[in-house]
Amino acid sequence: MSTQRKAEFVEEELSEQAIHDFLAAHPDFFERHSTLLSSLHLPHASGGAVSLVERQVSVLRQKELKLERKLKELIQVARENDVLAAKIHELALQLLATKDLHQTIVAVEEALRSGFGADQAVLVLFRDPEAFDDIDVGRFFRVVKKDDVSLKPFGTFLNGNSARCGKIRDSQREFLFRNDADDIGSAALVPLGDGAEMGFLAVGSIDSDRFHPGMSIDFLTRLGGLVTGSLKRF
Strands 141-144, 120-126: pairing kind: parallel
pLDDT value, residue 66: 87
pLDDT value, residue 198: 94
pLDDT value, residue 204: 93
Which of 52-56, 78-82, 177-181 is modeled with the greatest confidence?
177-181
How many Cα atoms are found within 13 Å in the side-chain-facing hemisphere of 116?
28
Residue at 38: amino acid letter = S
Give mean pLDDT, residues 99-104. 91
Above pLDDT 90, what percent of the chain? Answer: 42
Mean pLDDT of the residues in the chain:
84
pLDDT higher than threshold 60 for residue 207: yes
pLDDT higher than threshold 60 for residue 115: yes
| Residues 6 or more apart whose Cβ sits within 8 Å of residue 123 | 105, 108, 109, 140, 141, 142, 199, 201, 202, 227
pLDDT higher than threshold 90 for residue 27: no
- In terms of pLDDT, which residue wins out, 32 or 152? 152
Instruction: Cite the residue boundaries of each domain of the chain with CATH code 3.30.450.40.
Output: 98-231
pLDDT higher than threshold 60 for residue 222: yes
pLDDT value, residue 6: 55
pLDDT higher than threshold 70 for residue 62: yes
Give mean pLDDT, residues 185-193. 94
pLDDT value, residue 161: 86
pLDDT value, residue 24: 83
Calculated CA dihedral for residues 41, 42, 47, 48, nearest 10 degrees: -10
- Superfamily holding 98-231: GAF domain (3.30.450.40)
How confident is the model over 116-174, as pLDDT tens digits?
A: 878 999 999 999 888 887 777 678 999 999 889 999 999 999 988 899 999 999 999 99
pLDDT value, residue 60: 79
How confident is the model over 33-58, as pLDDT tens digits?
A: 767 766 666 665 555 555 566 666 77
Give mean pLDDT, residues 82-109. 90
3-state secondary structure the chain: CCCCCCCCCCCCCCCHHHHHHHHHHCCCHHHHCHHHHHHCEEECCCCCEEEHHHHHHHHHHHHHHHHHHHHHHHHHHHHHHHHHHHHHHHHHHHHHCCCCHHHHHHHHHHHHHHHCCCCEEEEEEECCHHHHCCCCCHHHEEEECCCCHHHHHHHHHHHCCCCEEECCCHHHHHHHHHHHHHHCCEEEEEEECHHHCCEEEEEEECCCCCCCCCCCCHHHHHHHHHHHHHHCCC
